Structure 1
Amino acid sequence: MRAAVLTAPGRLEVVDDWPEPTCGDHDAIVAVAATGICGTDLAYVAGQREIVPGGLLVGHEPFGTIVEVGARVDSARIGQRVAVEPNYPCGACRSCLADVSSLCTARRSPVVTEQGFLAERVAVPADFAWPLPESISAEDAACIEPLAVALGAVRRAGDLSARPRIAITGAGSIGRILADVLVRRGIVPAVLDLSEERVDRAVALGARRIEAGERFDLVFESSGAGSAAAEAVELLDAMGLLVVIGVGNTPFAVDTKTLVRRGITIIGSMIYDHPYDYAAVIRAVERGEARPGIVLGEAFALDRAAEALTGAAARPDKTWIRVAGGDSRA
């Protein structure tokens, strides 16, 4: 079957002979319609992470259609349109037993611990293939995973009405999806990013620019840059909360005087928890409470995967690739 294989940093080949996936008893084979591209994928493209021998399939934000199921899966699921939740916790470790599967010590993560989804067909655990209503567009379907990250952070932040002054550092995909979610809830978040083009896009969604000297009750840090996290701490007022979503390679120093004298709390928000967050996300899109596809830019065909991936970091909008194996609208 056809697949786009990353063989070395910056070098991606579309092949016709990638092995077909094997369907285990509890698995489903999904014909991939499209997949979004995120920072994790781009870290492999840039050579910041090691590529496995034989090549790596990137892309871990897919949707498509179930075309085959294992012996322990209801055959009625064949033909079902689904979004794949691309993190598979073990279900038995301390974190999983505490319903915090995002911190699972044995979590399987496509692209990171196994092959991703930039192929015509992939095998996934059937419990992680979530039915998608036909009312959800291809664009929104391709952004279910980053929306789950954003809404997971909102859930962990607690009662937003108790923290009415809200800011977001980082106006990339997660930051803008988060801004859209907040605006739809009647909240106008302030947004900060080094890219004015990305800030402009967030403002177009109903957010606003941060004004000089402002302080906030809650800041979501979505960029992963150490400098942005340090700036986020400085933006917080007394008893403020910093929710760190972005993961990067640069640490940030915290001034303990600021931390202690303002009574600031910092928490990390790692992806989402199974099965609660994905179910809630799909319901939110179905009800019109989120439109994550608004962050997408041009859709690339699989034949243009190399162009899509090597240029993604420079684009202000999120890159996605249409594989067109499982959804006529893709």
Structure 2
Amino acid sequence: MRSVVIESPDRLVIEQRPLPEPAEGEVRVKVALAGICGSDVHIWHGHNPFAKYPRVIGHEFFGTIDATGPGVDPARLGERVSVDPVVSCGHCYPCSVGRPNVCTSLQVIGVHCDGGFSDYACVPARNAWHIPDAISDRHATMVEPFTIAANITAQLKPTPDDIALIYGAGPMGLTVIQALKGVYGVKQVIVADRIAERLVMATNNGADKVVDNSHQSLEDILNKAGIRPTLIVDAACHPSILQQAINLASPAARIGIMGFSGEPCTITQQSLTSKEISLFSSRLNSNRFPDVISWMAQGKVDPEKLITHCLPLEEVQAALTLFATDQRTCCKVLLQMHN
């Protein structure tokens, strides 16, 4: 079978590997489609501190179960599944309180262990989630990206009366827009970005107001409009954003942080505690696959609005480069494995 392997930073090969056999408690997935994420690009270029090499990348993927390991019901053969990349121990403190995404021995498929940019992948059976016929293959591949939005919004608990501000109209920001509008019914969602084309995408995904803050002050624009956001999501992931978000926020607001920057971030306690602002951080997802599958089945979110490109596995390097460099026309890139 073909596997996309990052042998070491900046060294990507498509390698022929033996067909894997599922171990106890595992299923083998014949991968149909896989999505490209920024973390895949970071692993390729050696910028992901969690990755181990060599590594088959890819943590957003969909396919069909074609083999089952010992202890797995063989009736699952032929089942259409999307794979949750979060592999947890189930017994540490985070797991015991329903947060397996920060398990003390966390393994992420495609980062710590081999992922879905391959013709076949073996994964724990409990991580392979059944996809109903009402959800297309393309949309099923997008379940994992939407779980990122599901995770942060579950913490922030949006209400229809919230005034939401989202920094960043990349894939993460767009999924959050759709969740806020389609799932939680938030009446006012404002999106700030520095790329005009991304703001068009934000509008197409449901944003009520967009702000190009490349040459104008977001603070001035919101202040002139008398807008004090009650819910803010940083999906742009720059360390300078948090203090501005605190300054802009309404008293008693909630702020969600999705970034992984290692750069220092300076905030004042006074600006935070004087408004009694709640801060939330979010990593991956904590058992949000059933939520997102339900959202898609009910038509509450539309993954098609994010998918801009689909390329064959053989063109993976071009696909990764496209995703990394073309922020104006490219949003979500899918890799086609099997038909």
The residue aligned with 1:320 is: 334
SS at the partner of 1:200? helix
Alignment-mate amino acid for residue 189 of structure 2:
P
CA distance in structure 1 between the partners assigned to 2:60 and 2:124 by the alignment: 15
Unaligned stretches of 5+ in structure 1? none
- 1:109 matched to 2:123? The reply is no
Q: Report if aligned partners of 2:204, 2:305 keep a CA contact under 8 Å in 1.
A: no
Q: Report if aligned partners of 2:131, 2:293 keep a CA contact under 8 Å in 1.
A: yes
Runs of 4+ in 1 over 4 A off after TM superposition: 50-53
SS at the partner of 1:212? helix
Can you list the C-alpha shifts for 1:124-167, whole angstroms capped at 9, x where unaligned?
Answer: 00011001112212221111011011011111112524x61111
The residue aligned with 1:212 is: 222
Can you list the C-alpha shifts for 1:250-293, whole angstroms capped at 9, x where unaligned?
Answer: 3321122211222211111222213xx21111111101111233
Q: Report if aligned partners of 1:10, 1:310 keep a CA contact under 8 Å in 2.
A: no
Distance 1:282 1:233, change over 3 A: same
- TM-fit CA distance, 1:236: 0.8
The residue aligned with 1:268 is: 281
In the TM superposition, 1:142-291 aligns within 5 A as: 142-161=141-160, 164-184=162-182, 185-187=184-186, 188-207=188-207, 208-210=209-211, 211-213=221-223, 214-274=227-287, 277-291=288-302
CA distance in structure 1 between the partners assigned to 2:164 and 2:133 by the alignment: 34
Higher RCO, 1 vs 2 (CA within 8 Å, ≥6 residues apart): 1
The residue aligned with 1:306 is: 317
Q: Report if aligned partners of 2:158, 2:231 keep a CA contact under 8 Å in 1.
A: no
Alignment-mate amino acid for residue 6 of structure 2:
L
Alignment-mate amino acid for residue 323 of structure 1:
M
Q: Report if aligned partners of 2:85, 2:110 keep a CA contact under 8 Å in 1.
A: no
Alignment-mate amino acid for residue 298 of structure 1:
H
CA distance in structure 1 between the partners assigned to 2:264 and 2:75 by the alignment: 49
SS at the partner of 2:253? strand
Q: Report if aligned partners of 1:35, 1:142 keep a CA contact under 8 Å in 2.
A: yes
Alignment-mate amino acid for residue 147 of structure 2:
A
Q: Report if aligned partners of 1:6, 1:12 keep a CA contact under 8 Å in 2.
A: yes
CA distance in structure 2 between the partners assigned to 1:296 and 1:235 by the alignment: 32
- TM-fit CA distance, 1:202: 0.3
Alignment-mate amino acid for residue 108 of structure 1:
Q
Query: Could you state the TM-score of these two structures normalised by the residue count of structure 2?
Result: 0.89
Can you list the C-alpha shifts for 1:11-32, whole angstroms capped at 9, x where unaligned?
Answer: 32222x2232231121000001
- 1:46 matched to 2:57? The reply is no
CA distance in structure 1 between the partners assigned to 2:5 and 2:153 by the alignment: 35
Can you list the C-alpha shifts for 1:167-188, whole angstroms capped at 9, x where unaligned?
Answer: 1111110110111222224323
In the TM superposition, 1:23-62 aligns within 5 A as: 23-49=22-48, 52-53=52-53, 55-62=54-61
Can you list the C-alpha shifts for 1:45-84, whole angstroms capped at 9, x where unaligned?
Answer: 222137645x321110000000000121111100000000
Q: Report if aligned partners of 2:239, 2:265 keep a CA contact under 8 Å in 1.
A: yes
Query: Could you state the TM-score of these two structures normalised by the residue count of structure 1?
Result: 0.91
- 1:63 matched to 2:76? The reply is no
In the TM superposition, 1:85-96 aligns within 5 A as: 85-96=84-95
Distance 1:260 1:102, change over 3 A: same
The residue aligned with 1:9 is: 9
Q: Report if aligned partners of 1:171, 1:198 keep a CA contact under 8 Å in 2.
A: yes
SS at the partner of 2:250? strand
Once the two structures are overlaid, the 10-residue window that deviates more, 144-153 or 290-299, is 290-299
- TM-fit CA distance, 1:310: 2.4
Can you list the C-alpha shifts for 1:105-142, whole angstroms capped at 9, x where unaligned?
Answer: 11211122111211000000001100111221222111
Once the two structures are overlaid, the 10-residue window that deviates more, 183-192 or 296-305, is 183-192
SS at the partner of 2:240? helix
CA distance in structure 1 between the partners assigned to 2:320 and 2:242 by the alignment: 27
The residue aligned with 2:129 is: 130
Q: Report if aligned partners of 2:55, 2:111 keep a CA contact under 8 Å in 1.
A: no
CA distance in structure 2 between the partners assigned to 1:242 and 1:126 by the alignment: 35
The residue aligned with 2:77 is: 78
